[in-house]
Each structure stands twice: as structure tokens, then as C-alpha cells.
Amino acid sequence: MTGQGPPADTDGGPAAQRAADRLALALEDVGFDVGQAFPMLHSGVSSDGLGFVELGRVTREVAWSLAVVLAEAARRGVTL
């Protein structure tokens, strides 16, 4: 899965929400229970009008598992 870039940030909140939804689906696709592993995953709009996605705080186990998944993707040549 090489790359499509993120949606343009011209619509702030909606684009950030789509990005958060896509991230949640991708995390579920690789085996994470997003509600458990990333309970604070959300999107919003900053005071300067830019959309953002926040992962929140995760346990060390979740961080380790995410690092393993990303390292394996990189090893297989999956890049942006």
C-alpha cells in the first residue's frame, strides 16, 4: 500500500475526521481493538483552523505492537 497522501486540509474538521476514520480502520485491519488500544483517538480543529488527529496516550504494549506492525510494513517495502 504505497501512497495516497492525506486529503487536502481545506475543509479542516471534516478532512481531519476522515483521516481519523481511515486511521481507525487501518489499525483495526492490522489487529488492534481501536476502542481499547486507542481510546482517545479523535479529530478536531486547532485555533488556527487546521484539522488534526490525536492518537492520545497508549500503553507501552500498544506502542510496542504498533512499532512491530510499522517495522514489518517497512521491511516489506510499504511506504508513504
Q: Of the candidates 49, 62, 59, 38, which has an alpha carbon nearest to the alpha carbon of residue 16?
A: 49
Q: How confident is the model over 3-21, as pLDDT tens digits? A: 566 655 567 889 999 999 9
Q: How confident is the model over 7-58, as pLDDT tens digits? A: 555 678 899 999 999 999 999 999 999 999 999 999 999 999 899 999 999 9
**74 — pLDDT class (breaks 50, 70, 90):** very high
